[in-house]
Amino acid sequence: MKKTNETKKIFVLGGCRSGKSRFAEQWVTSRFQRKCFIATLDVKNDKEMAKRVAMHRTSRGDGWSVIEEPLQLADVLLNYPEKSPGKSDVILIDCLTMWLTNLILAGRDDKTIEKEVHKLTSAVRACPVPLVLVANEVGLGIVPESFLGRRFRDLAGWTNQQVATACETVYFVAAGLPILLK
């Protein structure tokens, strides 16, 4: 089922509800049988977010092993497959924007986050299986009113730039349509 000569590291960007996750899932499902999904969202007690997670699980369907990791994303990749629930042919990470949010909410300062991003990009390059990463493009809108909003937007843009350099292929998804950037 796996097609030969596929790029190993793919980055999928898009706005909220742009179809980026669906595109990434379909890309993976059409090429691989044994799939691993790394979820970065920490639902906590948020009922609305739990519904969103359930919707994503349903859309993915069966055949995925799942790792939930809200903070130590690079460590999961660096220790793959030892920390995985089963050997997979591909890993899909959704989403880096939530991972960044988790780091900010955990009180990490910008320098610490930059180090985590550098650690992640090194882990992306070293990952022994094909990897698809999903993130939001948040820099296309207005300048946020609050310091936290501007900090988040700037860190997200910088993070996306770093991850894009670590991947062979980058897609931007708008209105459900993938546009090849790199």
Q: ω into residue 81 within 30 of 0, thus cis?
A: yes
CB 10 within 8 A of CB 31: no
Cα→Cα distances 89→6, 86, 129, Å: 12, 10, 6
Confidence of residue 47 (pLDDT cuts 50, 70, 90): confident
| Catalytic residue list contains 118 | no
Q: Helices in the chain by DSSP H: which ranges? A: 20-29, 47-60, 73-78, 96-105, 110-126, 147-166
Chain segment 66-117, per-residue pLDDT in tens: 899 999 999 999 987 765 556 789 999 999 999 999 999 999 999 999 999 9
Superfamily for domain range 9-180: P-loop containing nucleotide triphosphate hydrolases (3.40.50.300)
Contacts with 78 (C-beta within 8 Å, 6 or more apart), sequence order: 123, 126
Average the pLDDT over 147-161 and give the result: 97
Q: Is 112 left (phi over 0), alpha (psi -120 to 50) or beta?
A: alpha
**Annotated domain spans of the chain:** 9-180
Catalytic residue among 34, 56, 57, 125: 56
Confidence of residue 50 (pLDDT cuts 50, 70, 90): confident
